[in-house]
Structure 1
C-alpha cells in the first residue's frame, strides 16, 4: 500500500510511503517497488520511497530512522557519573536554552538538521503536564531536557513510553553522559511495566551509540529508496 507524504510537512520534500508490507524488502524487489511508486505518484516528483525493514540496511537503499527500545525493567542505571540526575519539570522554562543546544549541535554537525529537531514548546509542556518532562541536571545545574509521551502511533503497537526529547546543553556534552540518559529517563517514568522506545536517525551515530550502550535494541525502522528526479 503506497501513500504520498511530505517530510516534516515540507511540500518541497515529497516521498512515497510503502505500508503495510508483508516482509522486509530485498535488493531484487527495489526496481519493481520504485516503478510502482513512480507509476502512481510520479506526478509529485517524490524524492524517495520509504520502506520498513527489520534490517538496518539493504543494498541500494539509504538508512532512515530506526526504532530503539527495551523493557523498562532491563534499563537499569549503573555507574552513573557523579552529579548527573533527573528532576521532574512542571514547566518548560529552559526552552530557549534547549533551542540553543540544538543550534550548537547543528553548527558543529550541519547534517544534524536532517536528523533531529527540538520539539515544539507546546509538546514539551504537554509532557510536563503529564509528569513526563524532566530537567537533566549536573550538580543541580540545568543541563538539558529528557521527556517522554504515551503515543501509540509511534510505539509500534506496544504498551510503551515514547522518547520525546533528549538534549544536553553544549557544556555538558563530551562527558559520557549520553548512555545514562535513557536509563535515567526510563526509571523516572511512572509505569515500570511499559516498554521504553524512540526513533533515532541511523546517521546520528552519537545518539544511536548512546542508546545501544544503554541497553536499547534496534527493533526495525525505515529505509529510503532514492527515486529518479524529473
Structure 2
C-alpha cells in the first residue's frame, strides 16, 4: 500500500540521518557475541552478513508504508507510526534499537524487543531499558526481551527465552553414536502424523512443553526435504523421528540451523539425543559451516543433549518486566 498523506504522529519520526548505519549496528551486534564464536568465521564476512540483516531493522525504523502494512495486518489498535522501530537513548553510554513485537502474532501478547544495543546489556541497564520501552506504551507491553552472551546463571532471577547452541560442524563429527541409530534422507512427509503424535505424547506428560517446543509445519518440513537436509531417524530399523536443518545465517554465522530434532516415544529414554547432533554433522555437506539452533532455556533435556554432543551455549534471550500497565 502507498501512503500519500502524512499520518498522525509523524512529525517527530527519525530520518536516516538520526540513525546509526547498518555497519554500525553490525559492529555493536558482533561485540555482544560470545567470544568463542569469533574464531568460527572471518570477522569481516560476519560483519557484512550482520549489516545486511540490520538493513531491515533500519527499514522498520523509517518506512511508514511498511509500518502501515503491519498496523493493518496486526490490527492491535495504535496507528501505523507506533509500529516503527526506535533507536533510543537508554542512558549516557547506551543506545538500543527497540521494536514492538507480539508472541506468536497474538496481539494480546505484546512485548518490546531489544534487537541491538550499542554495548552489551548489564543488569544495571534493565530499569533504563524498561523506561525506554515506554515509547510503546500504547500497546501496553508487560515485558521486554534482550540478548546476552552471558551464561544462564548470570540472570537466574529472570525468565529465560531461547538459547543458541552451536559449534562448527567439523568439531561435532567424531562423537560416538549408539549401535542401531542411523539417519536416512527423507523424501516425503509421510511420517508427519507420527511426528505430531510424538509431540502430543510429550505434551501430555509435560504440560509446559508446548511453550518450549513444537513440531515444525508440514510446509517447513517440505522445505527441508527440498533442501536435502531433512532425515528420518531409524532406531534398530524402525522409524523413530526427524532430524533436519536449513542453511541460513544465525548470529551472522554461516549455519545449518536445526529445524527439527524429534524422537518418537519408543526411542526416548535411551540417551540418543546427543547422537542426533553428531549424525546431523556427519550428514551435512559443508564441515566449515556451523551447526546451530535455538532451544528454550527451560528445556533441560534438549539443552543437555546438545551440550553432550559438543554444541556450545553461546547466549540467548531473557525476559524482563517493563512495569507498563
Q: Return the TM-score normalized by structure 2.
A: 0.68
- Give the 3 Å change call, closer, same or farther, for CA 32–206 of structure 1 in structure 2: same
User: Which structure 2 residues correspond to residues 183-194 of structure 1 after superposition, within 5 A?
Assistant: 183-194=278-289
1:101 partnered with 2:101:
no
The structure with the larger Rg is: 2
- Segments ≥4 residues shifted beyond 6 Å: none
RMSD of the TM alignment (CA)? 1.3
The C-alpha deviation readout for 1:116-142, integer Å capped at 9, x for no partner, is: 111010101111011000000011210
Q: Is the 8 A contact 2:248 2:254 kept in 1?
A: no
Q: Which residue of 2 aligns with 1:49?
A: 144
User: SS where residue 208 of structure 2 aligns?
Assistant: helix
Contact 1:60–1:225 (8 Å) recurs in 2: no
1:227 to partner: Cα distance: 2.8
The equivalent of 1:148 in structure 2 is 245
Q: Deviations over 1:153-183 (max 9, x none)?
A: xx11111100010011111110000010111
Structure 2: 5+ residue runs without aligned partners? Answer: 1-96
Bigger share in helix: 2
Shift of 1:213: 0.6
Equivalent residue, structure 2, for 1:15 = 111
Question: For residue 317 of structure 2, what is the aligned residue in structure 1?
Answer: 222
- The one of the two structures with greater contact order (alpha-carbon pairs below 8 A, sep at least 6) is 1
Give 2:124's match in structure 1, choosing from 28, 40, 43: 28
Cα deviation, residue 59, structure 1? 5.7
Q: Residues 177 and 278 of structure 2 are in contact (CA less than 8 Å); yes or no, is this contact kept in structure 1? A: no
Q: Cα offset for 1:60?
A: 4.9
- Structure 1 residues 77 and 170 mapped into 2: Cα distance closer, same or farther (>3 Å)? farther
Aligned residues: 227
Determine whether 1:58 maps to 2:155.
Answer: yes
Write out aligned runs for 1:126-165 (5 A). 126-152=223-249, 155-165=250-260
**Retained in 2: the 8 A contact 1:70–1:196?**
yes
What is the TM-score with the length of structure 1 in the denominator? 0.94
**Residues 88-138 of structure 1: CA distance to partner in whole angstroms, max 9, x if unpaired?**
001111000111111111111111111111101010111101100000001
